[in-house]
Amino acid sequence: MFRHKLYLAFFLLLLITLLQTGLAVWVSGVASYHVERSRIANQMLSEFISLGADKQRLKVWVAQALLVKESPIYQRDNYLRQMNNQLVNLNALILHDQRLAESAEDYAAISQQMKTLSILETNVQALQRSLEEKDAQPLSDPDLWRLLIEIFDNLEGLDLKHVIAEAIDLQRQRSAKAETAAAEALSRVRSLVIGVMIFGSITAILLALLLSRSLYRPLEQLLKGTSALADGDLSYRLPEQGHSEFTMLSRSFNQMAASLQNSLKKEEEHSRQIEQKVTERTRQLQHAIEQLQSAEQQQKRFLADVSHELRTPATAIRGEAEISLRGQDKSPEIYKESLLRIADTANQLSDRIDDLLMLIRGDQEMQLRLRSVTVEQLAQSLSKQAAAALMQHGITLHSFEYIPDEKLHNALLIDLDKIQQAVIIVLDNAARYSPAKTPVALTIQVDSVVEIIIADSGIGISDDDQQHIFDRYFRADGARKLRPDGLGIGLCLCRYIIESHHGQIAVESTLGEGTRVKIELPLMDEHE
């Protein structure tokens, strides 16, 4: 069974891994031990050298103090403090070195260094006491010099220079020996590690070859089967021979392929049904989304139109009422006239509300109250409305011209109030965006259609902005700078009214010179 081969291979690999782990731990310990001994030896050597150097510096300081009498005390104290610190460090290092010692030679050398350290500690203490006594009880210079020389260089018959030099030489020998031992240990460890690594590599290669030979043919057959399934050949089957795990895998693969083949047929049929349902649901959802978007746009347009169209009548009603209530009581005739004006404005407001409600119906046609109106009646009504609209802005109608055509049936089928509303919107724009006392002309002429032409000398419209002035909420840059309070829906409503009468509106303008708006309305046939 292939499972047993795998267990054997895993056991051998685990054994090799444990062996390498144990070897790594042992190697790490050996390396750490020798590196630590080398570090202690080098650090002790450094401390001995520093101690001898600081002692020599202190001796120079004493000589300078005897000669020039100006050596600062803090330097002396600093040298003594450094020497005491070095003695403490040496004591700690010797104790650590003693714990790491492993031969009689090491213990003998450590004992020698401990003896040297004891002599140096006694010397430093004696030197410190002598310097302090010198501060307390000054002696003559020759006596002081003789005393300090004896303390610096001799202790109970010992030459301290020779003692320190021997300690340094001994520590140099021990440092070199420790470094040599560390190098030899690392070399042995390196050889051992390389041997174990070669053994592990050879074992792993042999196991890999053994397992690959057992795995290659079954896996190759399985890969061919999966490739066939991936290419859509669900009729492909693997051979079922023997009693190994791969035979069971081949049997399961064949059962899976048969199940997939049956499921594929069912899935194709189900997918066709789902696609039909998805197509239908998508169409319904798209229709619902379009309705929602249309409703949202209608709501936004309705709110904008209400804000624009109801502001002026509401302001007029409020202003008329405030004027009537302002000041002293007035006569009933004045109140009656004021109420009549309020009622007229309220009627106009009611008409505007009706128009706005019809405007939000989207693509449906505006509900018009059509009646037959002659061109002459239209001209008279528009001339009065134009004069009144321009007078509110302090501008007079510069010229009005009516040019009939006797050959045509001069009558229209229109909603007169809405046509007047559209013309007033254009006149209001002409007055708003023209300087005071500038001319505004209104011309009505009949030539196969009724043309209503409004020309002003205002700020004009750029060529780029003329393509968008009938778009809802659009305002030209010049208009926005001059009158920032507009909403940009007046001309859009005007075009909607004109097109609801099957007419056309067009604008010609030159920036800085003025604007010319032409409205065309169809004439009513005689038989109509």
Full DSSP string of 394-434 = T----EEEEE--TTS--EEEE-HHHHHHHHHHHHHHHHHTS
> Is residue 342 within 8 Å of residue 325, measured between CB atoms?
no
Counting beta carbons within 10 angstroms of the beta carbon of residue 32, is it exposed (0 to 12), middle (13 to 18) or buried (19 or more)? exposed
| 451: β partners | 445, 520
Provide the pairing of β-strand 399-403 with 440-447.
parallel
Nearest CA to 2 out of 259, 149, 271, 211 is that of: 211
Nearest CA to 475 out of 520, 419, 427, 432 is that of: 432
pLDDT at residue 363, as a whole number: 47
- CA 398 to CA 393: how far, in whole Å? 14
The 10 Å Cβ neighbour count of residue 260 is: 13
> Is residue 469 within 8 Å of residue 491, measured between CB atoms?
yes
pLDDT at residue 139, as a whole number: 44
Q: What is the pTM of this model?
A: 0.39
> Is residue 429 within 8 Å of residue 490, measured between CB atoms?
yes
- CA 418 to CA 479: how far, in whole Å? 25
pLDDT at residue 407, as a whole number: 62
Q: Return the sign of the alpha-carbon dihedral for residues 404, 407, 411, 412.
A: negative
- Quote the distance between the C-alpha of residue 287 and its chain's center: 37
pLDDT at residue 95, as a whole number: 85
- C-alpha distances (whole Å) from 190 to each of 13, 28, 29, 197, 204 are 22, 11, 14, 10, 21
Residue 391, token pair as written in the block: 């007078």
Return the ∠ at Cα 385 (arms to 379 and 386), rounded to 5°: 85
Residue 252, token pair as written in the block: 């399961």
> Is residue 341 within 8 Å of residue 322, measured between CB atoms?
no
The pair phi, psi for residue 411, each rounded to 5°, is -145, 150
Provide the pairing of β-strand 504-510 with 514-522.
antiparallel
Q: What is the dihedral of CA 258, 261, 265, 271, to 10 degrees?
A: 120
Q: Which positions of the chain have pLDDT values less than 70?
A: 1-7, 24, 68-71, 133-161, 211-219, 239, 241-246, 294-295, 298-299, 301-312, 327, 348, 351-352, 354-366, 396, 398, 405-409, 483-488, 526-528
> Is residue 37 within 8 Å of residue 181, measured between CB atoms?
yes
Q: Return the sign of the alpha-carbon dihedral for residues 53, 57, 62, 64.
A: positive
pLDDT at residue 305, as a whole number: 54
- CA 498 to CA 366: how far, in whole Å? 10
- C-alpha distances (whole Å) from 171 to each of 39, 43, 90 are 12, 10, 12
pLDDT at residue 254, as a whole number: 78
pLDDT at residue 412, as a whole number: 87
Long-range contacts of 423-426 (CB under 8 A, 24+ apart): 423/382, 423/385, 423/386, 423/452, 423/454, 423/519, 424/385, 424/386, 424/389, 425/490, 425/491, 425/493, 425/494, 426/454, 426/491, 426/494, 426/517, 426/519
Which residue type does 373 have?
A: V
> Coil, strand, or helix at residue 44?
helix
DSSP category for residue 495: H
- CA 45 to CA 99: how far, in whole Å? 18
